[in-house]
Structure 1
C-alpha cells in the first residue's frame, strides 16, 4: 500500500521535463524517499535501481572516468535493464556510500540530460559536507520529511475532510462536528507521528499498540545508525545527546544540562551531527528586526525539535491516553508535543525545493520576559506565531512583539476554531499547513 505524498506531483512534473537535472532526494532515514521514487518508476517503461550499501561491487564502476554513457552501458549489462533516455528511470539509492557516484551526477546533466536520474541517501548530508560544490547548478535537491497532517488525512481515507479543511477560514469556519473530527485525528497524529511505516500500518489495522511497537523498532534502528555518523564521536555520546534533546523540548537547549562526561566542544559536535542527520531540527533565536530572519540570528540560542512527534512522545514516555482523550490543551500539549508538531508542519508546508530554517524570538528584560514560539515570513512581513491554549493566557508576548517590530498581525495556533482578536488571528492547530500555503 502506497500512501500518496505531496512530493508526488513534483516528481511527476520533473518526469515530464525533457532535459531535467538529476534529482537528489534528501531527508532523514525512513521518511519515505526511496518509496516515493519507486512509485514514480511506474511511469517509466524501465527502472534500474542501484543500492550502493547492498551492491558494494558496483562501486568499482565509478572508480575511473565518470562518463555517463560508459556508466550506463556497464550498469545496463550488470542489471540486464535497458537504459533508454525518456523511458528508463535510473535510481541511485544510499548514494552516500559511494562518493564518486555523487560526483557523477553533474556529468549526467552535462552530457546526458535526456536521461532521468534520481539519487537518494539517508546519511547523505555527511557525504555532501565533504564535497560541498559537487554539482551546483547541475543537480536539483528535493527535501523530504515524514508525513504532514494533510498527508495523514489522505492515508486515513479522509479526502473530503481534508478538502473542507483547506477551504475553511475565519470567514468560513468549519461546522462544529467537522472541527471536532479534525481535532480527534490531530491527537492521533501527534501520538503516531508521520513516519510512513507507522502510518501505513495504522491506516490498515487502526492499532495504536502495534504502531507504538513500530515506533520502538524505528528508534532502535535510528540509534544503531549513530555509529555511522562519525568515528571520532562515540555512538553512545550521540545517543545521550538525542535523549537530551527530547528532555529539553520546549525551551532553550542548554549544553551544560546534558548528562555526559564529554566537554562542551564534544557535546556541540555530537549535536551538529544529529542536525546533519536530520533527526534533530534547530529553532534559532533571532532579533527579528528585518528580513532575512537569519541575518540577526544567534546560533548560541537554540531550541531543538525531534524530526517526528511519534518518535518524540515514545522516547519521552508520554501518557498517550491523556493526549488522545483529554480536551484540555495542557494535556494535549504534554511535553510541548503540540509546539513540536507546529514547527514540523511549518517546515513540511513550504516548497520541497528549499531547506527552510526555523526561528523564534525571546527577550529577557527586568519584569518583561517574553518569547514567541516561531516566526513566519509572509511576503515582506514577519509574523509572530505562538502555540497556546485558546482558553488561557493573555498573549502578552505576541502583543509585545507586534508593538516592538510593527508586524501587521500575530497568529496563535490552538485547539479552538478560527477566531480573531484585534491584531491576533487564531487558527486551529490542524490548519498550520493552510496558514503557510495561503493564510
Structure 2
C-alpha cells in the first residue's frame, strides 16, 4: 500500500482508545478508505476480519438483527463465516461501506461496550440524511476524514521522500531550496496537479508514468460520482448534476465564486443549498465561503450565499477540463505539463491549494468585497486561515493567502487587506512558482509548500 499520513492517526487512535471507541473513516468514493483500514488491520493486529456490506449475504446481515443481545454467538458466527480466528484485544473488525447497512453502525455502541475487539467502519456518503435517519448514531464513534493524497504523500509514492524532507526543512528554516531542487519540486508539483491524489490514479502513474492510463482511471471515478448523484441525490439530482457539470466553467472565471445565474437565470442560493451540501458532504467538492468580517473564528461571519466550489481532487478537475473526447492521450497531458497547450493555470493552482489546505485541516474561507464608491475597500483575497503570529506572543491572527500561477503579478488585494484590518492580520502568504523569499510579515512561498501552512 502507498504510504498515508492517516495511518499514523489510526495508530494514535488505537493506543489512546484501547477499545473504548470505534473509528469511522469517511471520505469520497475511491479515496482509499478500505485499503487503509485493511492494511492497518493486517499490520497492527493478530487478525483482521472485514464485513463488506456491498457483498454481505442476508445470513450475515441477520446476525446483526438476531444476535444483537448474544454477542458470544455473534462473534462465533462471524468468525466461522469469514474463516478468521478472533483474538481478544488483538483483532480488528472492519465494517466496510457501513452506510449500506446502517443497523451495523447502530450496533457499534454494544460492540464497543463489549470490549473484546477493535472496530473500524468505512463509508462514503455516510452522513447524508437517507443513511442515518432511522438509526441512533453511536457516541462511541470517532471519525477520520480521508482526503486524496497530498503532495507529501505523492512524493513518497514517487520515491522522493528525501525531497519531501528538504521541502519541510526549507519551510521551517525559511531558507529557499537550491535552484536545482526547486525546479525538481515544481516539476513534480505540476505532475501532481495533473495526476491528482486519488490512490488508484497515483498508483497507476507510479507504475506506468502514462497519463493516458491515469486519465482512464479518473474517468471511471467521475462516472462513479455521476452514478452516485443519479442514485442518491433524490429530488436534488438535477441541481446537483448542474452544479457538478458547471465546476470547470465556474473555476475558469477570474472571480471563481459560483454564479448560479449561469445555470438558470432564476436560480437562487436557497434553491441550491441542498445541492451544494450534497456535493460537499459526499467529499466531491470543497466549498470555500466568504468571511465578511474576518477575525479569529472565521465561521462567525460566513456568508454562505457567496461560495467558491472547488473540486476535491485537482486531477479529476483536469480530466473534466480535458474531456472533449472519450479519451485524453498521454501526449496531450505532456504538452500541458510542458506548457505547450494552454490551460487555465490559475484554475488548477487555486484548486490544488484549496485541496492541500483542506487536507491540512483548514476550513476554507476567502474574503471578497466590492464597492463602486470606495476603491480601497474593493478586494478579493483567495484564502484566509488562522495561524499563530510570532510578533504577538504566538497568539492567533488571520493569515491571508494569495495564489499566483505566474511569475509576474501584483498583490493589490493583499495590500488593501492589511491596510483595512491592521492588527487582526498576522503572517501573510503569497503562493507562487518562484523560490521562497521573506519580506517582513509577508512570506512568498513556492506552490509546493501550500500543504505546510
Q: Normalising by the residue count of structure 1, what TM-score does the alignment of the two structures yield? A: 0.90
| Whole-angstrom CA distance in 2 between matches of 1:394 and 1:221 | 41
Which residue does 2:421 correspond to in 1? 405
| Whole-angstrom CA distance in 1 between matches of 2:168 and 2:263 | 42
Which residue does 1:378 correspond to in 2? 387
> Could you list the runs of 5+ residues in structure 2 that have no partner in the other structure?
324-331, 389-395
Which residue does 1:7 correspond to in 2? 6
1:32 and 2:32 correspond: yes
Closer/same/farther in 2, CA of residues 283 and 260 from structure 1, 3 Å limit: same
> Could you list the runs of 5+ residues in structure 1 that have no partner in the other structure?
351-355
Matches for 1:181-220 after TM superposition, within 5 Å: 181-220=184-223
| Whole-angstrom CA distance in 2 between matches of 1:207 and 1:24 | 34
2:246 aligned counterpart, secondary structure:
helix
Q: Normalising by the residue count of structure 2, what TM-score does the alignment of the two structures yield? A: 0.87
Matches for 1:21-420 after TM superposition, within 5 Å: 21-43=21-43, 44-57=45-58, 58-64=60-66, 66-67=68-69, 68-112=71-115, 114-126=116-128, 130=133, 134-136=137-139, 138-169=140-171, 171-234=174-237, 237-249=239-251, 251-258=256-263, 267-317=272-322, 320-321=333-334, 323-326=336-339, 334=345, 336-350=347-361, 356-366=362-372, 367-368=375-376, 369-379=378-388, 380-389=396-405, 391-406=407-422, 407-420=425-438
253-262 or 143-152, which deviates more: 253-262
Closer/same/farther in 2, CA of residues 201 and 259 from structure 1, 3 Å limit: farther
| Kept in 1: contact 2:384–2:400 (CA 8 A) | yes
| Whole-angstrom CA distance in 2 between matches of 1:409 and 1:237 | 39
| Whole-angstrom CA distance in 2 between matches of 1:257 and 1:363 | 21
| Whole-angstrom CA distance in 2 between matches of 1:217 and 1:179 | 34
> 1:166: how far off?
1.0
> 1:327: how far off?
10
1:374-404: CA deviations, max 9, x gaps? 1111131110001014632321111111122
| Kept in 1: contact 2:353–2:451 (CA 8 A) | no
Aligned residue-pair number: 424
Closer/same/farther in 2, CA of residues 75 and 213 from structure 1, 3 Å limit: same
389-398 or 191-200, which deviates more: 389-398
199-208 or 62-71, which deviates more: 62-71
| Whole-angstrom CA distance in 2 between matches of 1:50 and 1:323 | 43
> 1:108: how far off?
2.5
| Whole-angstrom CA distance in 1 between matches of 2:249 and 2:132 | 29
> 1:60: how far off?
2.1
| Whole-angstrom CA distance in 2 between matches of 1:103 and 1:325 | 52
CA-based RMSD: 2.5
